């Protein structure tokens, strides 16, 4: 049990900070959301022009740099990459499209459940279903081939880009967009968000927190290590919401959520499936990018581009519901995941041998 204390504490800190960040000004049930916050950053940079979701979220910068700093101190920083980067980029776009159909990454899904949003339970069922599909292909030999050691600069670049984001946030030049209304305008003070990100980033780096890994490892290996982190987030955020009076159970009128069950299910199924193929959830990818994993940095860039595509093409859902374009995009994304899953599994190589 001793070796599992760290992951349980990490999950607890994520849950606690998530509730506190909402108290200090973040959107409801959105203390942390990797998808939403990368989407806000895409908006701040003008990659999409959805005026209500543009903000250079300090939590993301903090997560990345917290991981980078601790990995460097512990000599775990290692610049590596080259494991099917373009495939990972495309997978990340799909994951982001799915997350914005549902309205949240797996982390926000947990926080939404902890806030009493039953739509997120439907999302969870989809998420687990997607993980099962991903595991089916893992068992068929799916992998994206190995990565290699690279020059240190390659690994430093993404952390440096995040220092640049921090500079843009503080200097706030006219070409960076800041929402004046909507979720993008709701935020905790910069230094609180940044500090929360740094602490969670360091803890998640040390204890390997991953929201998709919890379910995946339980199914594949009966290993509950990461699941304990997942459950710890849920438990602490749930108690926190109860204490703050922000636990409001039900389907209707939930903050930044819609009630369309089918699309909540399908959106998170894409996220679960895509994340298993990527080897980790969006949060985990940020942490790995901080450790010098440039395949994960490519993933983070794919998530940002995916957010821009989602809003520019009218795929992202809103509290009003799912769009027709969004529904069509889910179908296309399923085909993309099928093709990538199939092509990187042993189906083709076995046929070639026969």
Partner 1 sequence: MKTIDTCGMSCPQPVLMTKKALDEEKDGIDVIVDNNTAKGNVQRYLKSVGYSVEIEENDGTFVLKARK
Pick the stretch among 47-55, 94-102, 164-172, 207-215 that binds partner 1 (CB under 8 A): 207-215
Q: At what angle do helices 152-171 and 190-207 cross, to 10 degrees?
A: 160
Q: Are 264 and 126 in contact (CB under 8 A)?
A: yes
Query: Which residue has 């990490």 as its token pair?
Result: 10
Identify residues 67-106 at the interface with partner 1 (CB under 8 A): 76, 78, 80, 83
Cβ neighbours, 10 Å, residue 288: 26
User: Which residues are paired to 81 by β-bridges?
Assistant: 148
CB of 94 to partner 1, least distance (A): 17
| Distance, CA of 345 to chain centre | 25
Q: Is 48 in the site for partner 1 (CB under 8 A)?
A: no
Cβ nearer to partner 1, comparing 146 with 320: 146
DSSP annotation of 2 reads G
Say whether residue 1 binds partner 1 (CB under 8 A): no
Site residues (CB under 8 A) for partner 1, limited to 223-242? 223, 225
Whole-number minimum distance, CB 9 to partner 1, in Å? 16
Considering the rule CB under 8 A, would residue 7 count as an interface residue with partner 1? Answer: no
Indicate the residue among 45 and 220 with the shorter CB distance to partner 1.
Answer: 220
Residue 253 engages partner 1 in binding (rule: CB under 8 A): no
For the chain, the C-alpha Rg in angstroms (whole number) is: 19
Sign of the dihedral through C-alpha 78, 84, 88, 90: positive
* Alpha-carbon gap, residue 102 to 256, rounded angstroms: 10
220 lies in the site for partner 1, by CB under 8 A: yes
* Sites of contact with partner 1 (CB under 8 A): 3, 76, 78, 80, 83, 138, 143-144, 146-148, 208, 210, 213, 216-217, 220-223, 225, 278-280, 295
């Amino acid at each position: 049990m001793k070796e599992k204390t760290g992951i349980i504490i990490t999950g607890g800190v994520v849950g606690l900070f998530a509730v506190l960040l909402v108290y200090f000004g973040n959107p409801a049930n959105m203390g942390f959301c990797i998808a939403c916050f990368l989407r806000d950053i895409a908006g701040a940079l003008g990659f999409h022009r959805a005026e209500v979701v543009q903000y250079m979220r300090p939590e993301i910068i903090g997560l990345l740099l917290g991981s980078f700093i601790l990995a460097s101190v512990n000599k775990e920083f290692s610049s590596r990459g080259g494991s099917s980067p373009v495939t990972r980029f495309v997978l990340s776009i799909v994951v982001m499209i799915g997350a914005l159909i549902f309205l949240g990454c797996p982390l926000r899904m947990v926080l939404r459940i902890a806030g009493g949003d039953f739509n997120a339970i439907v999302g969870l069922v989809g998420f687990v279903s997607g993980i099962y599909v991903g595991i089916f292909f893992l068992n068929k030999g799916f992998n994206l081939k190995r990565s290699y050691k690279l020059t240190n600069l390659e690994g430093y670049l993404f952390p440096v880009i995040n220092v640049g984001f921090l500079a843009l946030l503080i200097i706030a030049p006219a070409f960076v967009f800041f929402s004046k209304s909507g979720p993008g305008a709701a935020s905790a003070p910069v230094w609180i968000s940044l500090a929360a990100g740094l602490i969670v980033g360091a803890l998640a780096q040390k204890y390997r927190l991953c929201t998709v890994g919890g379910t995946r490892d339980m199914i594949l290996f009966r290993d509950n290590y990461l699941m304990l982190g997942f459950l710890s987030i849920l438990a602490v955020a749930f108690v926190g919401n109860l204490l703050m009076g922000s636990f409001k159970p039900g389907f209707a009128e939930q903050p930044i959520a819609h009630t369309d069950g089918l699309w909540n299910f399908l959106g998170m199924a894409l996220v679960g499936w895509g994340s298993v193929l990527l080897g980790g959830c969006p949060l985990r990818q940020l942490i790995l990018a901080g450790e010098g994993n440039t395949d994960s940095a490519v993933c983070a860039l794919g998530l940002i581009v995916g957010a821009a595509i989602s809003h520019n093409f009218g795929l992202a859902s809103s509290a009003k519901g799912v769009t027709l374009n969004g529904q069509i995009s889910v179908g296309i994304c399923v085909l993309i995941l099928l093709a990538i899953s199939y092509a990187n599994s042993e189906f083709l190589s076995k046929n070639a041998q026969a």
